[in-house]
């Protein structure tokens, strides 16, 4: 299922960037609310995991599309 270009498109362009944005908002809210350490951890770790996951999904989608084109 994770090798389909359609699934990787949804993950790379929609779901993971949205989760990265939401976790960045949560991290900034935590920092402004007084939980500085937890907010920094959310900003640095969680947001970056979602952002890099989007890049890996897009790269995997590109290779899946190229592989599909080579079969034709």
pLDDT in tens, 22-69: 999 999 999 999 999 999 999 999 999 999 999 999 999 999 999 988
CA dist 52 and 20 (Å) reads 9
Residues spanned by the domain of 46: 5-71
Q: So what's the pLDDT on residue 53?
A: 95
Given a cut of 80, whether residue 2 has pLDDT beyond it is no
pTM of the model: 0.85
Give the total number of structural domains in the chain: 1
Asked if 5 contacts 61 with a C-beta cutoff of 8 angstroms, the reply is yes
| Residue 33: count of CB within 10 angstroms of its CB | 10
Query: Average pLDDT of 14-22?
Result: 96
**What gap in Å lies between CA 64 and CA 58, rounded to an integer?**
10
CA 26 to chain centroid, in Å, comes to 15
């Amino acid at each position: 299922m994770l090798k389909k270009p359609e699934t990787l498109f949804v993950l790379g362009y929609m779901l993971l960037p949205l989760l990265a944005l939401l976790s960045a908002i949560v991290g900034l809210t935590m920092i402004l609310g007084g939980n500085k350490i937890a907010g920094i951890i959310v900003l640095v770790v969680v947001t970056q995991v979602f952002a890099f996951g989007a890049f890996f999904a897009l790269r995997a989608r590109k290779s899946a599309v190229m592989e599909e084109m080579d079969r034709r």
